[in-house]
Each structure stands twice: as structure tokens, then as C-alpha cells.
Amino acid sequence: VMLHRLLAMVRGPGRCGGWQKGCSARGSASAAAAPPVVLPARAQVVVCGGGIMGTSVAYHLSKMGWKDVVLLEQGRLAAGSTRFCAGILSTARHLAIEQKMADYSNKLYHQLEQETGIQTGYTRTGSIFLAQTQDRLVSLKRITSRLNVIGIPCEVVSPKKVAELHPLLNVHDLVGAMHVPEDAVVSSADVALALASAASQNGVQIYDRTSILHVMVKKGQVTGVETDKGQIQCQYFVNCAGQWAYELGLCSEEPVSIPLHACEHFYLLTRPWETPLPSSTPTVVDADGRIYIRNWQGGILSGGFEKNPKPIFTEGKNQLEIQNLQEDWDHFEPLLSSLLRRMPQLETLEIVKLVNCPETFTPDMRCIMGQSPSVRGYFVLVGMNSAGLSFGGGAGKYLAEWMVHGYPSENVWELDLKRFGALQSSRTFLRHRVMEVMPLLYDLKVPRWDFQTGRQLRTSPLYDRLDAQGARWMEKHGFERPKYFVPPDKDLLALEQSKTFYKPDWFEIVESEVKCCKEAVCVIDMSSFTKFEITSTGDQALEILQYLFSNDLDVPVGHIVHTGMLNERGGYENDCSIARLSKRSFFMISPTDQQVHCWAWLKKYMPEDSNLILEDVTWKYTALNLIGPRAVDVLSELSYAPMTPDHFPSLFCKEMSVGYANGIRVMSMTHTGEPGFMLYIPIEYALHVYNEVMSVGQKYGIRNAGYYALRSLRIEKFFAFWGQDLNTLTTPLECGGESRVKLDKGVDFIGRDALMQQRQNGVYKRLTMFILDDHDTDLDLWPWWGEPIYRNGQYVGKTTSSAYGYTLERHVCLGFVHNFSDTGEEQVVTADFINRGEYEIDIAGHRFQAKAKLYPVPSLLTHRRRKEDVELSDLHGK
């Protein structure tokens, strides 16, 4: 009965002309007449938000057998962005995980009408992505080659073919296009209602016009919600509140930071064309013209992502549903002109209205899902960057899996809430950043793009000093890191011109930095790394670390251990280096973006014990990496201490003096496989130590280097990085990390059973290094990541990272090789399987031959140098 009432209320744009009127007045009247509702006193899960996300989560939870679910909606179902969504379902996404979510959504919506009996307006129209420039075409070709390997039909077509697919299009300025025939249009409001209806049949209880005032948290665990109609006790809470999620996140004893911000978004509706457009008319995306166009009831629906977006709701919530937002025709003019340029014949088409439908955007253009790092049982699924309909089904499924099984079936780190911390939650930051993100949706996405807004938030004390020396910066987790240093006599291209899929303008700069790392010494500021200290009064620290990490940490004081932090399935939750500072204290270095995730993981497993202390000391230390064969000379000169391997073996940590500064933590390790040292310097000494290093280093040819040099070095040496090559679904055995696992260290650790099993059964994928053979660095497209790998002509996996190796003078890609049987099942991958294949890497549709390696290429060059150095230093010694 209730469902009928709910369904009667909302009409999406897929329906007849009066859809807009139908909502406001009638809806409230029927609600007023309804008897007062009584909420259940308790439930296992409370989902907040009756849009496509909330209903999808409820639907998938109930399908997986969690039926004690209550869904609360403050207005009416599907009355937020879901109601006004343009209804385009497109699988052409840049991230693999996004492609998978969209593909799943497409399949789900396709059969939804059959499953629920509710009309969703699903029509498989296909979509055409136009390219006005060669660069855009490259971008589309990259997507094409990646969609094809996951089984989504997709092809690059000529302008002539475009004209056949859509006769109204002006194709004169096009260089090509991408056609995705299985993309669809659908009424998103009706999809949400269908999902709600199916969920409700499965036992989910749905209440509209119920606002959540407060989420109750006790001891870091969700205990219930307080609504305007009473309390509900619950163990799980899911925040799918869309535009309102940021504020809802704060309405809790333990605030949950959900960084998102809304922008106004406009699209146009018209009356039918003289001869109404057939419902199968494909959707057109003209990203260079910043617009999309779809068929709408014989006419068109067209909107876009303008260069100058209008952020709204910075102050926060001011209405329960989205309505009465002002139209702004003047603002829409560039998009309208772009539309008429693309379809000149539409001039005579009559206007129905200009719809203003706010959309939420996130700081990195990727949606937000997962569990709060600080509150157990608090899940989030929001921030869809205008792709809520495309992601809705898949995202809801992954989140439901996460709640039911404890983890999703795919690697979703790129979308994980824990990639953000409170530092991304300033309203000013978000307002500025989303103004950059929204236009970026249709900008060309090229490798190594850095956001320009919301910068210089976290910096090292050396920032100004490095900046003055020509540093160019990139940002990770709010921290500024140098990319490379532009010499004073060199000019680089302006930002806009520097966008390229080919050889970038900094190629020679990084080359000289790499060369200096190989032959002399470079200093790289690596302060952004996440640094924790774990200390205890007794053996508690060692005990918990032994349980959490796969390598043996019971090493003599002063030793450094590379180790993975694994989950139950043996997958990497983190890959880090741990130094044993004393018997009872450990210093842990993790990737920059692990700050929130790793902290949450450690906190989850660490017992509540006041004798065991975990401290985030990231801000306390500036980290300098002295890298190269001469690093040892610089350090020994600065410390008057012998630094030779006899006195300071590799993977060793000592507190010593550098210059005037005492208590500098020096570690004989680098993150690239080159010889060198990491210096962890209390920040007040940073400038002093840096100055000393630079002045003493002068005679050894020291210079600054940046992360691009580091990246080239580490990929050439086959060093896998967490977050790029390694993730929660890869185990050490799958990426040559056996040496970092001690299965027989005498203590059980998380993931040990899974690894034992895997050791017995063999691995189903293997991280492999590929050296591109017939690739012309100057003329060919550069690899990036996500390129398909072919073995003997068969697709076997995708690359995860790549860089130009200046020593090998070849491009190097890292990537996973699978062994699919004829039926598509995964089989064991052996070294033999890898070695006995002919490989190709597909870059934007062009396949390049590649040599596969399971172990880094020993570099003769560096070996020889080192020998010379030894002789040279012997000479000095005498």
C-alpha cells in the first residue's frame, strides 16, 4: 500500500509534459492526508536517502539476504538529483572500476522492468562520442581499447559513419568518433522507484518525509539514528544523502568528513522535432563542445559542463528536495550555441524549458564510497560527479558487498572514502575545487594532470626554497611534492599547451635528474610520506605488529623491514617500511595517501591499551632522500661518521648528527632501488640540514630532483607501489614480494592462511615488467596505465603504471598477467607461462611489442660505476 503512495508521487522527465507540475502541490496534499507513521524501534541497517544510490544499496542488501533494512527519505523518493537527472547511461568511463560499475548498472536496469513490472523507460540507444581534435580521438581510442577487453562493444568510427548514425549532426569539423552501441537512456527516477519497489518486496521498509537529525555513535560504533519521527536503533548506517551528505556527516557525535560540493547544472528540453526523433536516436556527447544531446520524447534534451560553473549550497542545506531553482539562460548561451553548431537544423525546435538540476562533485572527480575511518558501521555512497545513474547499480552492489562480506568484490580504493581526510572538508576548498572539477568532466584527460585549485595546503618547510629553484609541483593528499626542477635557462610550455599524450616537454629535464641520481647524488623532498610511531611499555607493540604485518619484525634494533600489511585474503592493505627504533618502538613509513586508511586499519586491530601508543608523526619530520652513489660521501662529510657498508649496512636506521643538527634519523634505504639514504629530520632542522647537504654536496655534483625522476627509477627497477600497482586484491606472491613474507616467523599474522593456500595452489595473476620494443619515444603515444596486455594475441591483463626508463632507453610498463582459459576462467600463472609468451601492449588501439620480465633488469652500467666508485674511495682512503 505504502509503495503505491510512493510511486504516485514522483514523475521523472521520462513522462508526459506535466511532470514538473505533478510533484509539488499534489505530493504534499497526499502526504498530509496520510496517517502518522510509526517507525520501527530497531533495524540492522538504516539507509538515508531515497535517490538512486539509497534505493540501489537497499535493493542489493535485500538481495544478499539482509532484509532488516529501513530506508529513510526526508522529502519524497527520488526527488533530489535523481529526479532531474538527464537519464543517460554511459559505460565510456576513464577508470576501469567506473566502467565495471556502469556496465553492471546497464545490465541491471535492462532487466529491471521485467523484474519489478515498473516501467523504467529503458531504451538501448547507443551513444556517440565526438572528437573535434586528434587528441580527443586518442582519448576515445584509449577508452575503446579498454572497453573492448571487458566485453563492452565499442568502436572508433569515421565522421561519415557518424552522419549515418545520427543524420542531424554536423560532422564537418570532426576527426572521428567513438560509438558505444549498448549505452542506453532510462528514467532515473523510475529506476529508483523500481529498485525501491523490489527492495520493499524483499522486506526493506521505506519511509518518506522523515528527516534524520542525528546519527548516534557510541565508542566509535553506530548505534542508531534520531529522526523527526523518533529514534531507530541500528548497527549500520548508510549515508546516501547526495547534496545533503556533507552536512549529515557532521550530524553525529563523531563527525564523518565527506568532501563534496554542489554546482548548478543546466539542461534544455524541447518539443518534438517536425518528424519526431525515433526513440532509438543515439545519445551524442560532444566533449569539445562541452555538451551532451539525447532524444527526449521526439525532441531533444541537451545540457553540458560549462567552463564557469556556479557552485551552490556552500552554506549548506536549505531545502528538502530540489525545486524552484532559477533558470539562467545567459549562463547557458555558450552551450546553446555549441548545440546549434552541432545540429544547425534544430534552430526551429521549440523550447519547453531550461532545467536547473544541481549535481554534486568531489575534489578528485571520483565518487565516494566505503566505511568511515572513525565510526564503525557508518557507510557512505555519494558524490557522483553527474554520473549517478551510470554508477548507481554497480556502486550500490559494491557497497552492499562491502557491508555484508566486509569487502567489495572489486578493488575500489580509487573511490574509497578513506582516500580523503578531514583536510579536504573545508567549504572554501571544496567550493574552489569543484569549480575546477566540473569543467574537467569534458576537458581532455591527459596523463599527469594536476589540479590547480585548492593547492599549497600542506607543504614541507623547504617549499619556498625549492620553489625558488624552479620546482614544479604536484599534489597528493593535500601535500605539495616537487615533480621536477626547471633549470633557470629553460622555459616550459604554458599549462594548457603542455597537455599531451605524447612525449612531454620535461623529458630532458627529468633525464638529467635521473642521470644525476645514477651517477652522482640528488636530493628529493619526500616529506609527504605518512609516518607513524608505535610504542609500548612492554612487548605489546611488537606483538601487534607481528600480527598485522607479513614480514618478521622481531629484528635487532636499528634494522628496517619492508613489509606488507595484509588483509584476511592476503591482499595488500598497505605496503610500508618499518624501522625498529628500540626494543619497544617502531617507526613506520607508508605512502602519502595511506594517512587515513592505515590509521583506521591499525586502530581497528590495536587493543584498547594505554600502554600501547600509536602516533601520527607525519607533520613532525621533513624527509629528504639522498639518492645516488655519492650520497654516502655527502653524509659522511656532514656527520664525521663512517658511512661505508661495513659501518652502515643497507636497510639500517641510526640517529646521528648532520651538520649542527643532532638527532636526525638516517636510514640506508631508498624507495627506488638506487643506493642512498632517507633522512628523517625534525622540521625545525629541515632548512639547516638541506642547506648543509646542498653546500657540501656541491663538489659531488648534487642537485634537486623530483618525483618524476623517482618514478622512472623505481619502475625501471621493478619496484611496485601501493595504490598504483598493488591493492587490496593483490598478494605478495602475485608480485614477487615473497621475500617480504615470513610464513614461518613463528607467529600467526593476518593473511597467512590465504598465502599458505596460495603458495600451494599457485597464483592466478602475476605482476610483470614489460619493456616496449618497437616504441618510438619521440613519435609514438606514450603508455600511461590501464593499457591492455596481449599474450600471443590473447588479452591477459592491464598495465598498472609506466615510465620511460632512461637507463634502458625504453618505455617500461608494469602490469598483471592472467591466464584465461577458453571459457574465460582464471587459471594458474606460472613463471614458465609468462616467459613463453609473445607480448604486446595496446596503446590507444596500436599494439607495441614488449618483452616480459619477472625480475628487474640488472643494469651493467650502474654496476660498473659502483665498482669504479669503490676503487675511487679506496684511493681517497689511502
Partner 1 sequence: MSSTVSYWILSSARKTIATLQGGQRLYSRYASNRIISRWRFFPQGPATLKDNATACGGIAVQKAYRHTSTEEEDFHLQLSPEQVNEVLRAGESAHKILDLVSRAPDSVLRFESNQLAANSPVEDRGGIAACLQTNGLLFGIFDGHGGHACAQAVSERLFYYVAVSLMSQQTLEQMEEAMESMKPLLPILQWLKHPGDSIYKDVTSVHLDHLRVYWQELLNLHMEMGLNTEEALMYSFQRLDSDISLEIQAPLEDEMTRNLSLQVAFSGATACLAHVDGVHLHVANAGDCRAILGVQEDNGMWSCLPLTRDHNAWNPAELSRLKREHPESEDRTVIMENRLLGVLMPCRAFGDVQLKWSKELQRSVLERCVDTEALNIYRFTPPHCYTPPYLTARPEVTYHRLRPQDKFLVLASDGLWDVLGNEDVVRLVVEHLTEESQHKADLAQKPTNLGLMQSLLQQRKAQGLHAADQNAATRLIRYTIGNNEYGEMEPERLSAMLTLPEDLARMYRDDITVTVVYFNSDWIGASSKGS
Q: CA-CA-CA-CA torsion for 301, 307, 310, 311, nearest 10 degrees?
A: 110
To partner 1, the closest distance from the beta carbon of 251 in angstroms equals 9
With CB under 8 A, what is the number of residues at the site for partner 1? Answer: 33
Residues in region 451-510 near partner 1 by CB under 8 A: 453
Residue 346 or 683: the one with the smaller Cβ distance to partner 1 is 346
Interaction between residue 324 and partner 1 (CB under 8 A): yes
Compute CA 370 distance to the chain's CA centroid, rounded to the nearest angstrom.
13
The CA distance from 781 to 487, in Å, is: 26
To partner 1, the closest distance from the beta carbon of 767 in angstroms equals 41
Residues in region 347-386 near partner 1 by CB under 8 A: 347-351
To partner 1, the closest distance from the beta carbon of 236 in angstroms equals 21
To partner 1, the closest distance from the beta carbon of 214 in angstroms equals 5
Residue 335 or 514: the one with the smaller Cβ distance to partner 1 is 335
Residue 344 or 487: the one with the smaller Cβ distance to partner 1 is 344
Interaction between residue 336 and partner 1 (CB under 8 A): yes
Interaction between residue 275 and partner 1 (CB under 8 A): no
Name which of 618, 614, 586 is nearest 477 in CA terms: 618
- Applying CB under 8 A, which part among 340-348, 528-536, 813-821, 841-849 lies near partner 1? 340-348
Residues in region 252-271 near partner 1 by CB under 8 A: 268, 270
Q: How is 652-688 classified by DSSP, letter by letter?
A: BEEEEEETTEEEEEEES--SSSSSEEEEEEEGGGHHH
Residue 346 or 404: the one with the smaller Cβ distance to partner 1 is 346
To partner 1, the closest distance from the beta carbon of 578 in angstroms equals 34
- Applying CB under 8 A, which part among 334-342, 373-381, 559-567, 808-816 lies near partner 1? 334-342
Residues in region 293-322 near partner 1 by CB under 8 A: 314-316, 318-321
To partner 1, the closest distance from the beta carbon of 131 in angstroms equals 24
CA distances from 608 to 218, 546, 597, 613, 718 (A): 15, 17, 19, 10, 39
The CA distance from 830 to 836, in Å, is: 10
- Give yes or no for a contact between 90 and 248, defined as CB atoms under 8 angstroms apart: no
Residue 333 or 539: the one with the smaller Cβ distance to partner 1 is 333
**Given candidates 233, 323, 498, 777, which one binds partner 1 under the rule CB under 8 A?**
323
CA distances from 331 to 348, 352, 490, 580 (A): 21, 17, 40, 60
Interaction between residue 342 and partner 1 (CB under 8 A): no
Binding pattern for the stretch 194-213 against partner 1, x by CB under 8 A and - elsewhere: -------------------x
To partner 1, the closest distance from the beta carbon of 324 in angstroms equals 6
Residue 326 or 739: the one with the smaller Cβ distance to partner 1 is 326
Q: Which ranges of 410-526 does DSSP label H, i.e. alpha helix?
A: 427-440, 463-468, 507-519
Residue 34 or 213: the one with the smaller Cβ distance to partner 1 is 213
Name which of 492, 532, 526 is nearest 509 in CA terms: 492
Which amino acid, residue 650? S
- Give yes or no for a contact between 625 and 645, defined as CB atoms under 8 angstroms apart: no
- Applying CB under 8 A, which part among 337-345, 440-448, 559-567, 730-738 lies near partner 1? 337-345
CB atoms within 10 A of CB 314: 12
The grid coordinates listed for 218 are 557510541
Q: Are strands 530-536 and 522-525 parallel, antiparallel or unpaired?
A: unpaired
Interaction between residue 422 and partner 1 (CB under 8 A): no
- Cβ neighbors of 273 (< 8 A, separation 6 or more) are 298, 299, 300, 346, 349
The CA distance from 571 to 431, in Å, is: 36
Which amino acid, residue 623? A
To partner 1, the closest distance from the beta carbon of 504 in angstroms equals 21
Interaction between residue 340 and partner 1 (CB under 8 A): yes
To partner 1, the closest distance from the beta carbon of 123 in angstroms equals 24
CA distances from 560 to 553, 579, 594, 617 (A): 9, 4, 19, 18
**Given candidates 7, 168, 346, 555, which one binds partner 1 under the rule CB under 8 A?**
346
The contact set with partner 1 (CB under 8 A) reads 213-214, 226, 268, 270, 314-316, 318-321, 323-324, 326, 329-333, 336-337, 339-340, 346-351, 428, 432, 453
